[in-house]
């Protein structure tokens, strides 16, 4: 490496090393945008319908639904959970299935969950102005993302189904699974922010 290239590389390293605080701030903004956007979408039926498989199969959340564990016999004689016969593709509508989701509590639960998600995003963002509020948001963010990642264990729909191609099951993530696994990045970001907030509070306590 010649002298000019070495100088440029060292300059890059100094800039990168000094970007730590910017990175903390960027993570707060990122969590705000993701949580407020995703949480806000929970008022729409398509989004509420989309989370049903996750909630219905979760031992920690299924009790929020009235008919989460109802079993139905299909025309082919197979016993399945009722939600599986009431799935709706994104953007589709079906009056009969909508009635089922209303009775199940699908939409009311989604709205409540949306409010919680938005609140967490706002609290994390408020860490810019209040370390303690930020910490509350960061702890809640960690708990929520751990809950989301548990869907990889509890939700069959996160894996590609066996439809004849020979490509199915673990480790082949479906669209739902690929959506869930991304929460690893949010979890890591929240842990980093929590560590930074804790360090600031410890410094104030000296």
Domain ranges within the chain, ordered by starting residue: 22-205
Q: What is the pLDDT of residue 1?
A: 63
pTM: 0.91
Specify the 3-state DSSP secondary structure of 162: coil
Percent of the chain with pLDDT over 90: 81
* Beta carbons of 81 and 73 less than 8 angstroms apart: no
Alpha-carbon distances, residue 168 vs 53, 186, 193 (angstroms):
18, 27, 37
Please state, rounded to an integer, the average pLDDT across all residues of the chain.
Answer: 94
C-beta neighbour count of 63 within 10 angstroms: 11
């Amino acid at each position: 490496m010649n002298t000019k290239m070495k100088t440029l590389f060292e300059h890059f390293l100094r800039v990168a090393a000094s970007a730590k605080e910017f990175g903390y701030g960027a993570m707060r903004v990122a969590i705000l945008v993701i949580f407020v956007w995703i949480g806000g979408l929970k008022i729409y039926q398509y989004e509420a319908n989309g989370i049903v498989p996750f909630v219905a199969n979760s031992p920690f959340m299924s009790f929020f639904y009235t008919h989460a564990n109802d079993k139905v016999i299909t025309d082919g004689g197979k016993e399945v959970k009722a939600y599986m016969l009431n799935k709706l593709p994104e953007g589709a509508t079906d009056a009969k299935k909508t009635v089922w989701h209303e009775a199940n509590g699908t939409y009311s639960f989604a709205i409540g969950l949306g409010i919680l998600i938005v609140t967490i995003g706002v609290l994390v963002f408020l860490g810019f102005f209040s370390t303690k509020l930020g910490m509350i948001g960061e702890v809640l963010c960690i708990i929520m993302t751990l809950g989301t990642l548990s869907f990889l264990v509890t939700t069959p729909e996160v894996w590609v189904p066996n439809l004849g191609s020979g490509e199915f099951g673990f480790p082949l993530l479906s669209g739902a699974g690929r959506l869930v696994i991304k929460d690893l990045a949010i979890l890591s970001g929240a842990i980093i922010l929590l560590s930074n907030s804790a360090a600031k509070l410890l410094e104030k306590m000296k």
